[in-house]
Chain A
Amino acid sequence: MNKNKYLKAYYDDDGLLIKGLKSLKKEGVEILDVLTPFPVHDIDKILGYRRSWIARVGFIGGAVGAVIGFGFQVWVFTVDYPLNIGGKPFLAVPSFIPVTFEMTVLCAAFAMVFAFLIRSKIGPGAEPFIHDERSTDDRFLILVGVGKNATEETVSELKNKISNTGAQGIVLKDDVELSKNY
């Protein structure tokens, strides 16, 4: 029994799911993930997830973009290839601002998109791993970790705990692929 094992607990209703999640968390059960067909409020609070750092990535990306956009124009128009355009000074700051703005937005957006794709391991070429197709339709899922050295007794104890919370079905799974994701 050294494979990664986990239990799939099915729920019919998001209210039941939240209730079950709270009581399981209280009992100290290891929860690997929760899958829902639509966003359910408070799940990340119950699981104690920290806030996403994607905003910071966006800020850094934007700041880098602004510096590159502005700096490049300053270098081009003052050092590399000064051109007299409409009698304006070479360092014509107002005319640099639209490009700086666009570069800021572009770099911030790209930084966030790629950070998200890399961190979530999705994007072109990634192989989808779907725990249960009905979790994209009408079922709510909690994945409960069993642990590598769990005996059958502890598993059945765990199953009891879960079914007490109102789960409609529980399936034991040993999956190699799961270890990649968690």
Chain B
Amino acid sequence: MEISFSFTSKFKIPVFILILTGMATIGYSIFVLHDHGERFWANFLLNNVFAIVISLCGLVFIAIHNLGNSGWQVAIQRIPEAVSMYLPFGSILMFIIVISMCFDANHLYHWVHPEGDVILEMKKGYLNVPFFSIRTLIYLAGWTFMAIWLRKVSLKNDRDNDIKYYRKSITISAIFIVFFAITSSMAAWDWIMSLEPHWFSTLFGWYVFSGLLVSGVAVITLITVLLKKTGYMPQVSKEHLHDLGKYLFAFSILWAYLWFSQYMLIWYGNIPEETVYFIERLKGFNTLFFINLFINFGFPFLALMTRNSKRVPIILALVSIVVLIGHWLDFYLLVMPGTLGENAQIGFVEIGMTLGFMGFFLFIVFTALSHANLIPVNHPYLKESLEYHTQY
């Protein structure tokens, strides 16, 4: 059972067009726009954090299934593995932001200059450039290391049939989940919440985590459907898609739950230092604020409710695309009010850079897919996955 994905021109040409679009937009935003690169840096941060979050979900996906001793995902396991391979490249891009921050070349985080701001001077012990860089290094190095380790163990198992590789991947997953539980929350505070350093929410890490699950599962679903439609994954049946659809449905509800938990507590408490966050968004981003809620909760909730819509690849792919756009929008609402504020808009630069990052992401994922057998032939649960049935 050897199925290898070949990254042919059919895939390569669209991916390169996307990358070129992104390059052109980056050039435009740096050299033509006279805003000291503000729009460039904001979009760079937004898209790179979004891409890192998606690729991190690939790792979380494998880890939770390894730890849950589950078998159904084995048929598609190479996809989350390939998705997690973006992490090293995303880390490098993230470090471009960190390094330019050290040289004061971007103005994303205004806690870099706390002078004269009483609140920020009090938070200086945590929010300062050296400590921020060290923390970012720890998160990214840890995730990248475990992603590559897990992938290596899985690929070794293809050549050498031994149960010890599966046992080892469970150990790695356990270490990763504990590490991830702490670092995912902290990364969300550091990278996104500190864009508005006066404001804080204890729920913020979970909120970003729920967005991570939805958008990551949406990407995994999309790639699964794409590979199935192009004939690379005959082993994937409607049953696997059904389970991915269930994840998409459930995590959308989880996201809405956390969104509402955060909103309602702040609305009920009505303390100025907390409500400022939502007032900013309701004033300048009113339409997007409500579109965000509908597109990320109402739409997937209604569209994926029936059993059939989870089992028809086209509908599932369509919902995944909409949810993915929705969560990009969610990240836009997280990042933009704190960075560009009133100047924020969804225009040529935003769309072009998003497409560019998409191209880069897909290039890495497809390359990783083409380097390995699409079926983990020696995985102990492979047979279970191939004969998998799900009722509801």
Q: Does A59 contact B (CB under 8 A)?
A: yes
Q: Is the CB of B270 within 8 A of A86?
A: yes
Give the distance to chain B from A114, nearest Cβ to Cβ, in Å: 19
Q: Does A156 contact B (CB under 8 A)?
A: no
Q: Give the contacting residue for B264; candidates A42, A51, A95; CB below 8 A.
A: A95
Q: Is the CB of B267 within 8 A of A55?
A: no
Give the distance to chain A from B30, nearest Cβ to Cβ, in Å: 42
Kindly supply a per-residue 1/0 record for chain A positions 24-46, scoring 1 wherever the CB is within 8 Å of any chain B CB and 0 otherwise: 00000000000000000110000
Give the distance to chain B from A12, nearest Cβ to Cβ, in Å: 23
Q: Is the CB of B305 within 8 A of A94?
A: no
**Bound form: Cα–Cα A97–B256 in Å:** 12
**Bound form: Cα–Cα A55–B305 in Å:** 10
Contacts of B392 in A (CB 8 A): 55
Report the count of interface residues on B (CB-CB < 8 A): 11
Give the distance to chain B from A108, nearest Cβ to Cβ, in Å: 12
Q: Is the CB of A59 within 8 A of B305?
A: yes
Q: Give the contacting residue for B260; candidates A42, A87, A97; CB below 8 A.
A: A97
Contacts of B263 in A (CB 8 A): 94
**A-B contact number at CB 8 A:** 20
Q: Given A51-B307, A55-B307, A94 and B268 touching (CB < 8 A)?
A: yes
Which of chain A's residues has its CB closest to B306's CB? A55
A:84-128 near B, CB below 8 Å: 86-87, 94-95, 97-98
Q: Given A41-B389, A55-B392, A94 and B267 touching (CB < 8 A)?
A: yes
B:333-392 near A, CB below 8 Å: 389, 392
Give the distance to chain A from B258, nearest Cβ to Cβ, in Å: 14
Give the distance to chain B from A61, nearest Cβ to Cβ, in Å: 14
Contacts of A87 in B (CB 8 A): 270
**Bound form: Cα–Cα A19–B305 in Å:** 35
Q: Is the CB of A95 within 8 A of B268?
A: yes
Contacts of A41 in B (CB 8 A): 389
Give the distance to chain A from B325, nearest Cβ to Cβ, in Å: 25
**Bound form: Cα–Cα A59–B264 in Å:** 26
Contacts of A86 in B (CB 8 A): 268, 270
Give the distance to chain B from A168, nearest Cβ to Cβ, in Å: 27
Give the distance to chain B from A59, nearest Cβ to Cβ, in Å: 7
B:68-121 near A, CB below 8 Å: none
**Bound form: Cα–Cα A94–B265 in Å:** 10
Contacts of A98 in B (CB 8 A): 264
B:252-268 near A, CB below 8 Å: 260, 263-264, 267-268
Contacts of A51 in B (CB 8 A): 307
**Bound form: Cα–Cα A170–B263 in Å:** 65
Contacts A42-B389, A59-B305, A86-B268 given; 9 further ones with Cβ under 8 A?
A41-B389, A51-B307, A55-B307, A86-B270, A94-B263, A94-B267, A95-B268, A97-B260, A98-B264
A sample of 17 cross-chain residue pairs with beta-carbon separation below 8 angstroms, ordered by A number, consists of A41-B389, A42-B389, A51-B307, A55-B306, A55-B307, A55-B392, A59-B305, A86-B268, A86-B270, A87-B270, A94-B263, A94-B264, A94-B267, A94-B268, A95-B264, A95-B268, A97-B260
Query: Which 3 residue pairs of A and B lie closest in terms of their CB atoms, listed nearest first?
Result: A94-B264, A94-B267, A41-B389
